[in-house]
Amino acid sequence: MAWWDDARIEATVTRSYVCSHLKAREVEQLDSTPGFGDGLTNDTYWEWIEQKARRIFLILVDLEMTEQIFGMIDNSWDDTDLPINPEQVERLTPRFSKDDSLRRLFYFRQFHYILKPLRKGTHINYHDMDIVPIEVPGARQKLLPTQSADKVMLPNEPGRIFCRRHIRLGPEHGLSSEDFQDEIESIRTIENDHLVSYWASYIHRSQGYVLFTPVGALSLKSFLASTPASVKSLEKQLRRYLIMDWIHCLVDTLAFLHSKGLSHGNIRPSTILITEDNHIFYSGFTKLGSELLTGSTEKSSFDQESYVYAAPEQGSRPSTGSKDGRSRQNGLQSPKQPASDYVFSISRRESGVRSPTIATAPATSPCLNAQAADIFSLGCVILELVGFLVKRSSRSFAAHRSAKHKTPGRGGAPPDASFHRNLGQVETWMAELAEDAVSQRKKKDGDIFLSGVPPVLQMVERMLAAHPAERPTAHEVQMRMYDVLTGTCGVAEPHCVHQYSSWGFNFEGPHHHHHQQVASSPDAMSVAGWSSASSHRSSEHSRAGRASNMSGGTDSSQGGGRARGTWRSSMYMGVAG
């Protein structure tokens, strides 16, 4: 569709164009002066059209009454008067005052020539009769079956595709126009390469619309159920690198959110999206989420997926400290440990933390540490990705978690497969993943990225601690995952390298590279370990120390230090990679 923007109007309405739509005697009249002002203006009719009335002339062309341009100029009408109210249209010229159908045609047609284009960072409240310059390529395509979202294009942004989300406004939908605009303001400056980001928004005919970038081709939930061709076609080592890099990017982006004093609050496979070119990013972190996209205001409906990936404390009030009086542990490094015979032991020091029952969805409590809950949920997602890396399906993982529940849930629901209610089963699954990675690593076609699996699992072991205070911060997880990628897996520069201050005031600028180098020798790195509660026997700790001294591998902490030394100090300005 060709839109009448400023550039097209200026290029179209030339003198030759105007003359082609006038009779010979009317063309001669173009060079005379208007019949008003008693000689106070030297402008000719053509100069008035060229400078002030291109849009009005186009409307008259559509109505096949271009001769009326002279009477309208005599009455001092110009493009700044548009849109002209229905009551005023009859005053344009005598002919309009006599023909009601002409008045209606003029009124509706004028909106095609007074478009208000959407631009990055803007919000527009359109009038009901305004035409929104937006295109839906091809047939209307829903991005996700449960969301009122589609792919759209803007005429002023050729070649770009946006995700447009439709939010129903009004008391019956639980969100007013004012609340919608307040939410827009709260997300306007939150921009990150791995976070669905606000681009523009508008209200039209009492309905809200938000344009986001990037556009996801599928969710991580769909990815885990069926591997897309874009990943399946990758060479094995590149596919494993992609998964490890995804984990690092998700961790880095969560550190970005937490550094700004924010939390995601809804981390699960269906809120993590993947583009057609295998770019991963978070969605679903604002109030403009699925419950508003679908117009649902039912608060008691049970969300099975939210429950499965929820932290133990969600839905109940956690206590203020652990039983032994210790709070969050700092310092995540430990001697290197062997990559076999792993025994994982997730901390169960709940201190009164109760898990929600299967009949209730996770809720938000004023006392809930939302950032610590994010850590738990992301740990669950990381386990899903590690399982994919070693060729374990998400479905088999769910069956393993619920294996000790002999009977279905209430009302015939499937057995409870949540992470927080099945930490023992999660531990044994993690041990199997570690053993799978070691076994595959020993094969001739094994690669160095499998060496990163055990230390990643040890990282997840801490992330899944039952008590929020015993989980690492997002910054700690980010630093550890960076060390695994650079020190253990031999990646010279991961996709995302940032350092966010814990208070969100400072940001050491992006050291962001798209061209990674991977250590080619499988023996170039040793397997890095990570501190965990009783994860190995004491004899294994001593063996790990000897392995660290004898390996000749690159120290992961040194790898992290080298990269961090290149970061620039600067104030964060709202853009991250």
Q: What is the pLDDT of residues 275-328, one digit of tens each?
A: 999 999 998 877 665 444 433 444 446 788 999 999 999 844 333 333 333 333
Q: Identify which of 90-99, 186-195, 220-229, 441-450 has the greatest average pLDDT.
A: 220-229
Lowest mean pLDDT among 71-75, 86-90, 528-532: 528-532
Query: Which two structure tokens, joined as six digits, stand for 492?
Result: 């010279």
Residue 21 lies in a domain: yes
Residue 428 lies in a domain: yes
Domain with 540 in it: 218-268+309-319+332-405+418-571
On whether both 93 and 228 belong to a single domain, the answer is no
- Position 148 pLDDT exceeds 60: yes
On whether both 92 and 239 belong to a single domain, the answer is no
Of residues 351 and 277, more confidently modeled: 277
- Specify the pLDDT at position 548: 34
d(CA 213, CA 349): 41
- Position 539 pLDDT exceeds 60: no
pLDDT digits (tens, 9 = 90+) for 470-512: 999 999 999 999 999 999 988 888 888 766 654 433 333 334 4
Is 376:268 a contact under the CB 8 Å cutoff?
no
Residue 250 lies in a domain: yes
Cα separations (Å) of 130 from 124, 137, 159, 169, 451?
A: 11, 21, 24, 18, 59
Residue 558 lies in a domain: yes
Q: Model pTM greater than 0.85?
A: no
On whether both 239 and 109 belong to a single domain, the answer is no
The SS3 assignment for 571 reads strand
Is 487:557 a contact under the CB 8 Å cutoff?
yes
Q: Amino acid identity, residue 286?
A: T
Residue finishing a domain among 61, 90, 113: 113
Output the furthest CA–CA distance in the chain (Å, rounded): 105
pLDDT digits (tens, 9 = 90+) for 262-273: 999 999 999 999
Strand order in the sheet with 162-168: 123-125, 197-204, 207-213, 162-168, 149-152
- Position 34 pLDDT exceeds 50: yes
Q: What is the overall mean pLDDT for the chain?
A: 77
Is 226:233 a contact under the CB 8 Å cutoff?
no
- Position 154 pLDDT exceeds 90: yes
409 pLDDT band (50/70/90 cuts)?
low
Q: Give the per-residue SS3 of 162-217.
A: EEEEEEECEHHHCECHHHHHHHHHHHCCCCECCECEEEEEEEECCEEEEEEECCCC
pLDDT digits (tens, 9 = 90+) for 357-393: 333 344 455 578 999 999 999 999 999 999 999 999 9
pLDDT digits (tens, 9 = 90+) for 429-474: 999 999 999 888 887 656 789 999 999 999 999 999 999 999 999 9
Residue 130 lies in a domain: no
d(CA 529, CA 462): 13
- Position 552 pLDDT exceeds 50: no
Residue 441 lies in a domain: yes
| Domain count along the chain | 2
- Specify the pLDDT at position 350: 61
With CA atoms as reference, report the closest residue to 486 among 459, 448, 457: 448
Q: Amino acid identity, residue 24?
A: A
Give the dihedral sign, CA 173/179/185/186: negative
